[in-house]
């Protein structure tokens, strides 16, 4: 069984990540399709304050800002991604705000946002479930009454039924990415080896992501104060059927703050 450190997420999301995961996190057409989906599912209004929690370089938030949304904030722990998003917002003269903070304790004012989105399987990084619950409690605190939380999670049933212990792909002409995966109850442990054709092995890291059944995530949300939880399974935004790991088939969870 692969082992991961408790703080693996603090260092994984860097310049190399933008290469290894470019086909998902740097694909403008994919981002546009996902923002179309968010707008339709949540019935967003342009004036609503929106928080993109664990939002990386803000690909969804920047697209929302391009579409005329007036109050969009991105929060992420990665300085590399936050700095990248901030530069792009400045270059395009978008008013998207980027913050480098911990999603468990943001320090932001209570009841600040009408909508919070957590996209691209960015929830469930902690082996200690209590720390995942801290993020939900913080989201509840940050939402206005009648606010909405959207979680974009791996579809547990699909992962279990189509589990692949190893995958390879060419990130570009120079970089190969090998991922090995193991499953322990509802946690997927991964090892990512990044190989340069010129330099050899340039990265060897481990990570993990929790899988949630509809019943489990609903119970967690209700225990942190949310109600009226709705779930849509089998969300697919990639147009082809390559191995995108946990991003292939996802479960969309929407929870309301009464």
Distances (CA, A) of 136 to 26, 212, 219, 236: 27, 14, 12, 24
Percent of the chain past pLDDT 90, that is, above it, reads 92
Question: Side-chain half-sphere of 128: how many Cα atoms within 13 Å?
Answer: 7
| pLDDT tens digits along 199-236 | 999 999 999 999 999 999 999 999 999 999 999 999 88
Q: Is residue 220 part of a domain?
A: yes
Q: Is residue 48 part of a domain?
A: yes
Report the C-alpha gap between 30 and 36 in whole angstroms.
Answer: 10
Q: Is residue 237 part of a domain?
A: yes
Q: Is residue 90 part of a domain?
A: yes
CATH number assigned to the domain comprising residue 245: 3.40.50.150
| Cβ(138)–Cβ(103) below 8 Å | yes
Q: Is residue 13 part of a domain?
A: yes
Q: Is residue 224 part of a domain?
A: yes
**What is the mean pLDDT of the segment spanning 39-58?**
98
Which residue range is the domain that position 66 belongs to?
9-155+213-256
pLDDT of residue 208: 96
| pLDDT tens digits along 105-131 | 999 999 999 999 999 999 999 999 999
- State the total domains in the chain: 1
Give strand pairing partners of 118.
151
pLDDT of residue 245: 74
Q: Is residue 229 part of a domain?
A: yes
| Cβ(144)–Cβ(257) below 8 Å | yes
Q: Is residue 207 part of a domain?
A: no
């Amino acid at each position: 069984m692969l082992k991961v450190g408790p703080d693996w997420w603090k260092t994984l999301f860097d310049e190399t990540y933008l290469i290894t995961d470019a086909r998902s996190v740097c694909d403008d057409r994919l981002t546009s399709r996902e923002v179309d989906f968010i707008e339709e599912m949540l019935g967003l209004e342009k004036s609503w304050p929106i928080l993109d929690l664990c939002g990386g370089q803000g690909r969804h938030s920047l697209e929302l800002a391009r579409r005329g949304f007036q109050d969009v904030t991105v929060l992420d722990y990665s300085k590399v991604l936050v700095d990248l998003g901030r530069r792009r917002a400045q270059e395009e003269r978008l008013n998207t705000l980027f913050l480098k903070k911990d999603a468990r304790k943001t320090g932001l004012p209570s009841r600040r946002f009408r909508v919070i989105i957590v996209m691209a399987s960015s929830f469930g990084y902690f082996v200690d479930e209590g720390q995942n619950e801290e993020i939900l409690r913080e989201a509840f605190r940050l939402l206005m009454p009648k606010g909405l939380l959207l979680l974009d999670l791996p579809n547990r049933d699909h992962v279990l039924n189509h589990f692949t212990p190893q995958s390879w792909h060419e990130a570009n002409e120079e970089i190969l990415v090998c991922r090995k995966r193991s499953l322990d109850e509802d946690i997927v442990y991964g090892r990512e080896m990044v190989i340069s054709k010129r330099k050899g092995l340039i990265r060897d890291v481990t990570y993990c992501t929790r899988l949630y059944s509809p019943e489990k995530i609903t119970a967690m949300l209700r225990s942190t104060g949310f109600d009226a939880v709705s779930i849509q399974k089998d969300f697919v935004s990639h147009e082809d059927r390559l191995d995108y790991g946990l991003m292939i088939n996802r479960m969309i969870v929407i929870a309301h703050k009464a």
